[in-house]
Amino acid sequence: MTEDRIKLIQPLVGEEELALIDEVLKSGYMTEGPKTKEFESKFAEYVGAGHGIATTSCTTAMDLSLRALGIGKGHEVIVPDFTYPATADVVRFVGATPILVDVDPESYNITAEHIREAYTPQTRCVMPVSLFGNPIDIEPIEDLAEEKELYLIEDAACSAGARRGQRRTGSMVDLTSFSFHPRKVITTGEGGMITTNSNELAELARSIKKFGMTAGAGGVSNFARAGTNYKLSDVLGAIGVVQLSKIDEIISKRIELANNYDKLLQDAKGIIPPKVDEGVRHVYQTYAVSITVDGARDRLIGDLRERNIESQIGTYSLHVQPSFAEVARIGNLETSEMLYKNLLALPLSHYMTSEDQERVVSTLDELLGKYQSGG
Ligand X SMILES: Cc1ncc(COP(=O)(O)O)c(C=O)c1O
Q: Is residue 142 involved in binding ligand X (CB under 6 A)?
A: no
Minimum distance from residue 158 beta carbon to ligand X (Å): 5
String marking each residue 193-232 x if it binds ligand X according to CB under 6 A:
----------------------------------------
Which residue of 65, 87, 196, 342 would you call a contact of ligand X, by CB under 6 A? 87
Minimum distance from residue 126 beta carbon to ligand X (Å): 15
Tally of CA atoms within 13 A in the half-sphere of 95 that contains its CB: 6
In whole angstroms, give the CA distance from residue 104 to residue 361: 26
Stretch touching ligand X by CB under 6 A, among 25-33, 55-63, 108-116, 226-234 = 55-63
Minimum distance from residue 124 beta carbon to ligand X (Å): 20
Of 77, 79, 78, 81, whose CA–CA distance to 335 is shortest? 81
Site size toward ligand X (CB under 6 A) is 14
Which residue of 65, 83, 197, 342 would you call a contact of ligand X, by CB under 6 A? 83
Of 171, 218, 179, whose CA–CA distance to 195 is shortest? 171
String marking each residue 151-190 x if it binds ligand X according to CB under 6 A:
----x-xx--------------------x-x---------
Of 285, 260, 323, whose CA–CA distance to 108 is shortest? 285
In whole angstroms, give the CA distance from residue 155 to residue 46: 17
Which residue of 53, 94, 127, 129 would you call a contact of ligand X, by CB under 6 A? 129
Cβ pair 249, 14 in contact under 8 A: no
Cβ pair 361, 347 in contact under 8 A: no
**CA distances from residue 314 to 132, 145, 209 in whole angstroms, order as listed:** 8, 28, 31
In whole angstroms, give the CA distance from residue 303 to residue 310: 10
Minimum distance from residue 159 beta carbon to ligand X (Å): 9
Minimum distance from residue 236 beta carbon to ligand X (Å): 12
Q: Is residue 340 involved in binding ligand X (CB under 6 A)?
A: no
Minimum distance from residue 342 beta carbon to ligand X (Å): 18
The bridge status of strand 312-313 relative to strand 343-346 is antiparallel
Which residue of 43, 84, 151, 284 would you call a contact of ligand X, by CB under 6 A? 84
What are the E-state strand segments in 202-311?
213-215, 221-223, 271-272, 280-281, 287-291
- The residues binding ligand X (CB under 6 A) are 57-59, 83-84, 86-87, 129, 155, 157-158, 179, 181, 192
